[in-house]
Amino acid sequence: MRRKVSFICLAIALCAAGAVGQQSQQPLTNADVLAMVKNHMAESVVISAIQSSPTKFNTSASELIRLKKLGVTDNEMNAMIAASGRGTAATPSSPVESTADQNAGAMPVAKSRMPRVVVTEGSSTHELKLEKTQLAETKTKPTSMKTLAADSAVTQGLQTAVNTVAMDAAMHTNSAVGGSMVGQAGNIFTGMMSHRKASVTYVWGVPGVASANALQTMSPAFTVDFSRVPTVSADDYEPAIVKLTPAQNTCRIVGATQGKEDARSTPAADWQVYSRFLEERVNTKNEKLGAGKYKVSPASDLFPGEYAVVLRPISKDKKFSGGDVARAQGDGLMFDAIWTFQIADDAQ
């Protein structure tokens, strides 16, 4: 019965949106979305109305924060951001963007406000797909990447909880972020500990044995842009390159840290994730082109193997909300974001 009612509501919303488009072309606004939310319309109905109607939204950081406080969900706000991008015309490149284009290959204009990375190999450039690290728990202390890679609790956790369908749909090149990325794709893998302890080791990893991005150069260059991510201060982060550790032919370990056993579920921004974070960071040459815009390259040739571009807080003392990390939203999205690549055995 509930499914039938939801279907009827969805049909009514779509018809209403179509009528608006045909008769008056009046765009949906932030106030319209708030009205639907306050009238307890289902999230799926609100999103469908946004996607099927002309829109005129204000998606500034301050407005998104206000909407959040008034009950608009992350998925609904993501739909608003995506809708705002549909009709956005390409704007002339700023001097900073022009410099990046000249030095590291042009980054295509995108509708999405998600962080992006373009890799340059010689004279060719292409955009890397934004992935998201997955999180697993273990009792093993983070003393070395090799030890963590041999821990079956880590590899089983990362392998069991892979849920990439929503990510693939949301993160294709030049798309705006999908609601499922931030709202649902931050799966946390539990049930791996036979005994509860005051603190556990949280391990970040990516599924799969190898990246689909095989580079033929040992000295790639990357253009990184995270200047438009909502509710995040771009000046708090910088890009880095890390070496990934393959684990039992199931996944690749990115890094690890210790935390309270309930750290991932708390909304309070009190988790210093990066203060003692274990990772194999590569020495890089970073050129800051503007707030949240960088050109990054390894300081020396990379050996064949698995690597990734990641975003790291400039201050190791920066605090995160475990809930944001779990759901990959806000600052948690920045720390979870990853662009994997491999240096081929025959790379020059």
Among candidate residues 51, 86, 121, the one where a domain is terminated: 86
Q: Residues with Cβ < 8 Å from 69, sequence gap 6 or more?
A: none
226 and 299 inside one domain: yes
Rg of the chain over all Cα atoms, to the nearest angstrom = 21
Same domain, 257 and 168: yes
- Please check the confidence at residue 102 and state whether its pLDDT lies above 70: no
The pLDDT-based confidence of 93 (bands split at 50, 70, 90) is: very low
Neighbours of 73 (CB within 10 A): 17
The pLDDT of residue 79 is 82
Q: What is the pLDDT of residue 111?
A: 66
Quick one: pLDDT at residue 184?
32
Task: Kindly list the distances between the CA atom of residue 35 and the CA atoms of 46, 57, 67, 77, in Å, as whole numbers in the listed order.
Answer: 10, 14, 11, 14
Domain end, chosen from 57, 86, 115, is at: 86
13-55: pLDDT as tens digits? 444 444 434 444 588 899 998 999 888 888 878 887 887 788 8
Q: Does residue 247 lie within any of the structural domains? A: yes
Does residue 316 share a domain with residue 198? yes
What average pLDDT does the segment 302-324 reach?
93
* Per-position DSSP letters for 233-244, written without gaps between them: -GGGEEEEEEE-
Residues 102 and 293: their CA atoms lie apart, in Å, by 14
Reading the block at residue 6, the tokens are 């939801």
Shared-domain flag, residues 167 and 259: yes
Mean pLDDT for 201-212 is 88
Question: What percentage of the chain exceeds 70 in pLDDT?
Answer: 72
- Exposed, middle or buried, 236 (CB in 10 Å: 0-12/13-18/19+)? middle
Residues 27 and 157 occupy one common structural domain? no
42 with 117, same domain? Answer: no
d(CA 110, CA 296): 20
Tell me: pLDDT of 191 over 50: no
Q: Give the pLDDT mean for 276-303.
A: 94
C-alpha distance across the termini of the chain, in Å: 62
Both structure tokens of 324: 């944001």
- Greatest mean pLDDT among 41-50, 57-66, 121-130, 216-225 lies in 216-225
Q: At residue 215, does pLDDT exceed 70?
A: yes
**43-52 vs 30-38: helix crossing angle, rounded to 10:** 160
Distance between CA atoms of 180 and 75, rounded to whole angstroms?
7
The residues near 163 (Cβ < 8 Å, ≥ 6 apart) are 185, 187
Residues 183 and 73 in one domain: no
Residue 274 confidence (pLDDT):
93
Lowest mean pLDDT among 137-141, 177-181, 252-256: 177-181
Selected residue with higher pLDDT from 135 and 191: 135
CB proximity list for 5: less than 8 A, separation 6 or greater: none
| Tokens coding 265 | 């579920």
117/221 Cα distance (integer angstroms): 10
Write the burial class of residue 305 (CB in 10 Å: 0-12 exposed, 13-18 middle, 19+ buried). middle
Spatial separation of the C-alpha atoms in residues 229 and 331, rounded to whole Å: 9
Could you tell me the CA-to-CA distances from 270 to 115, 319, 321 in Å, in that order? 24, 5, 6
For residue 348, tell me if it sits in a domain: no
The answer, yes or no, to whether residue 94 has pLDDT greater than 70, is no
- The count of domains in the chain is 2
Distance (Å, whole) CA 238 – CA 326: 21
Angle 167-168-172 from CA coordinates, rounded to 5° = 110
- State CA 203 to chain mean position distance: 17
Same domain, 112 and 79: no
Residue 92 placed within a domain: no
- Look at residues 189, 244, 241 and name the one whose alpha carbon lies nearest to residue 219: 241
Task: Tell me if 218 is assigned to some domain.
Answer: yes
pTM above 0.75, yes or no: no
C-alpha 25/C-alpha 31 separation (Å) is 16
Residue 108: the pLDDT is: 61
What is the structure's pLDDT at 110? Answer: 61
Q: Which residue has the tokens 């720390």?
A: 335
Round to whole Å and give the CA distance between 344 and 348.
9
- The arithmetic mean of pLDDT across residues 213-224, rounded, is 93
Q: Is the pLDDT of residue 177 over 50?
A: no
Residue 91 has pLDDT above 80, yes or no: no
For residues 189-217, give the mean pLDDT: 73
Residue 106 has pLDDT above 90, yes or no: no
Whole-number pLDDT of residue 221: 95
- Is there a single domain that holds both residue 54 and residue 108? no
Asked if residues 334 and 113 have their Cβ atoms less than 8 Å apart, the reply is: no
- Please check the confidence at residue 255 and state whether its pLDDT lies above 50: yes
Same domain, 254 and 328: yes
Look up residue 80 and give its amino acid.
M
Domain that holds residue 316: 97-343
Cα 265 off chain centre by: 19
Least confident of 124-128, 176-180, 303-307: 176-180
Q: Examine the domain organization and report whether 166 and 194 are in the same domain.
A: yes
Could you tell me if 82 and 172 are in contact, meaning their C-beta atoms sit under 8 angstroms apart?
no
Helix (H, G, I), strand (E, B) or coil at 215: strand
Average pLDDT, the chain: 76
